C-alpha cells in the first residue's frame, strides 16, 4: 500500500478509521490506528454524555473533545482526525474546538458542511474533509467553498450505501446499482479533476470495505485511500464495551438491517431487542434533555438516538443498538488493530500480485 497526502500531511497507510459514535471510536481506537500509519478518528457525537460534570451538554462536549484529543496525543505521534456530524446542534462548537486544538483533520458528514471553512482561524493547520454520498454533493461543496471562502476541500470521503450508521441515500437507493460506491467514485473523481491546477483533492472510498482486496480495487479505480469503520469495532483498542463488540461477533448476515433514524436518514444497524421495542412503539422519549440533533423533534421521535447509542456502547444492549456496515457479520474474533492492519496488507499484496 502506498502513502498519500492530504495537503502537506503524508499518510503512510492509506486507511482512515471511520468515526463511530457514541463512544465507539475515541482516543483508544484512534491512537492505535494512527500508530499503524493510518488516520485515527475520534467521533465527537455524544462526548457530552461521556464527560459529565463540566456544565451543560454543550460545555461537557467541548471539554470531552479536548480531553479525547489530549489522550490520543499522549498515545501517538501519528495523525488524528475528528468526525463531526453536520446534523449535530453543537456542530459549530465542535468545529471551533477541533481547530483550536489543532487536530490534523476534520471529517464532516451527515449533511453538507457548507460553512466549515468559516471556522478556520489565521493560524489554522487542520485539514477540512467533507463526507459525501454523491458527485452532486461534492460539486456543491467545492463550488460553495471556493466561491465563498477561496478554499477547496483537502480531500473528499465518498461514502457508499453499504456503510454502517447514517446513510446519505433514500431507502430505495440503497440497493440501486447506480448508487453503488463503484459508480460514485469515478463520478467524484471527474468532479474534482477540474480543480487539479489549484489543488489536488484526494478521493477516499468508504462504505462496505472489509478486505485488502477491496482496498486494492478502489485504489486501482483512482481512490487515494479508503475509510473503514466496522472492521475496527472488534479490536482490543475499540473504545466500546465488550458487550457491544459481542453483538458483532454473534451477528448473522440477515441480522443487519436498514432502519429509520430520528436524524431523518436511513441507517444500517444490527437487529436486537431494543429495535424490536422501537418498532412496537415502546421507546418514545418523554423529553429531550440535550437536543443533540438539529432536525430531531422528540415529540415526534420514535426514540432518543443519542441515549440509545450511548447505552449500547456502554454494553446495555436492552436500551440501545449497534450501527454496523453491511459486512459486520464477517467478524470472527477480537483482534488487535495491528493484527487487522497486517491482514489487510497481506490481502492487498495478494490482490496486487494476482492482478499482474
Strand-pair category, 79-85 with 39-43:
parallel
Q: What is the pLDDT of residues 67-92, one digit of tens each?
A: 999 999 999 999 999 999 998 889 99
pLDDT at res. 203: 98
pLDDT at site 347: 98
CATH number of 4-239+330-355: 3.20.20.70
Assess contact for 347 and 211: CB atoms under 8 A.
yes
- Asked if residue 40 lies in contact with residue 52, where contact means CB atoms within 8 angstroms, the answer is no
Q: Residue range 237-254: average pLDDT?
A: 97
Q: What is the pTM of this model?
A: 0.95
Query: Which residue intervals of the chain bear CATH 3.20.20.70?
Result: 4-239+330-355
Kindly compute the dihedral angle of the four CA atoms of residues 192, 202, 168, 86, in this order, to the nearest 10 degrees: -100
The pLDDT of residue 284: 83
Q: Is the pLDDT of residue 114 over 70?
A: yes
Which residues, listed in sequence order, are joined to residue 88 by a DSSP beta bridge?
293
Using one digit for the tens of pLDDT, what is the confidence trace for 311-354? 999 999 999 999 999 999 999 999 999 999 999 999 999 999 99
Bridge partners (DSSP) of residue 158 are 132, 205
* Residue 286 in this model has a pLDDT that exceeds 80: no
Distance, CA of 149 to CA of 141 (rounded, Å): 11
What would the mean pLDDT of 136-149 be, rounded to a whole number? 98
Q: Residue 296's pLDDT band (boundaries 50, 70, 90)?
A: low
Cell numbers representing residue 164 in the block = 454502517
Give me the mean pLDDT over the 10-16 stretch.
Answer: 98
Rounded to an integer, what distance in angstroms lies between the CA atom of residue 284 and that of residue 312?
A: 17
Amino acid at each position: 500500500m502506498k502513502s498519500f497526502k492530504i495537503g502537506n500531511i503524508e499518510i503512510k497507510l492509506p486507511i482512515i478509521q471511520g468515526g463511530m459514535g457514541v463512544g465507539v471510536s475515541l482516543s483508544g481506537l484512534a491512537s492505535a490506528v494512527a500508530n499503524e500509519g493510518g488516520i485515527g478518528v475520534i467521533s465527537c457525537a455524544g462526548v457530552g454524555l461521556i464527560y459529565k460534570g463540566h456544565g451543560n451538554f454543550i460545555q461537557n462536549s467541548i471539554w470531552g473533545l479536548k480531553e479525547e484529543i489530549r489522550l490520543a496525543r499522549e498515545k501517538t505521534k501519528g495523525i488524528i482526525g475528528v468526525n463531526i456530524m453536520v446534523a449535530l446542534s453543537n456542530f459549530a462548537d465542535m468545529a471551533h474546538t477541533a481547530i483550536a486544538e489543532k487536530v490534523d483533520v476534520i471529517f464532516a458528514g451527515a449533511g453538507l458542511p457548507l460553512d466549515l471553512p468559516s471556522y478556520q482561524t489565521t493560524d489554522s493547520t487542520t485539514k477540512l474533509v467533507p463526507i459525501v454520498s454523491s458527485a452532486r454533493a461534492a460539486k456543491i461543496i467545492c463550488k460553495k467553498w471556493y466561491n465563498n471562502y477561496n478554499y477547496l476541500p483537502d480531500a473528499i470521503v465518498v461514502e457508499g450505501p453499504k456503510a454502517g450508521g447514517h446513510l446519505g441515500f433514500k431507502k430505495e437507493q440503497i440497493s440501486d446499482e447506480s448508487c453503488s460506491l463503484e459508480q460514485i467514485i469515478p463520478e467524484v473523481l471527474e468532479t474534482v479533476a477540474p480543480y487539479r491546477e489549484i489543488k489536488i483533492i484526494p478521493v477516499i472510498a468508504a462504505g462496505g470495505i472489509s478486505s485488502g482486496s477491496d482496498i486494492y480495487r478502489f485504489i486501482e479505480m483512482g481512490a487515494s485511500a479508503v475509510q473503514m469503520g466496522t472492521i475496527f469495532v472488534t479490536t482490543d483498542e475499540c473504545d466500546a464495551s465488550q458487550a457491544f463488540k459481542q453483538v458483532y461477533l454473534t451477528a448473522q448476515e440477515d441480522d443487519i438491517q436498514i432502519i429509520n433514524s430520528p436524524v431523518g436518514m436511513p441507517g444500517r444497524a444490527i437487529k436486537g431487542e431494543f429495535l424490536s421495542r422501537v418498532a412496537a412503539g415502546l421507546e418514545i422519549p418523554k423529553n429531550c434533555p440535550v437536543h443533540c440533533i438539529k432536525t430531531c423533534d422528540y415529540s415526534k421521535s420514535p426514540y432518543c438516538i443519542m441515549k440509545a447509542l450511548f447505552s449500547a456502547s456502554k454494553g446495555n444492549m436492552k436500551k440501545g443498538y449497534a450501527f454496523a456496515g453491511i459486512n459486520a457479520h464477517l467478524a470472527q474474533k477480537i483482534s488487535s488493530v495491528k493484527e487487522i492492519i497486517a491482514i489487510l496488507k497481506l490481502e492487498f499484496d495478494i490482490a496486487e500480485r494476482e492482478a499482474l
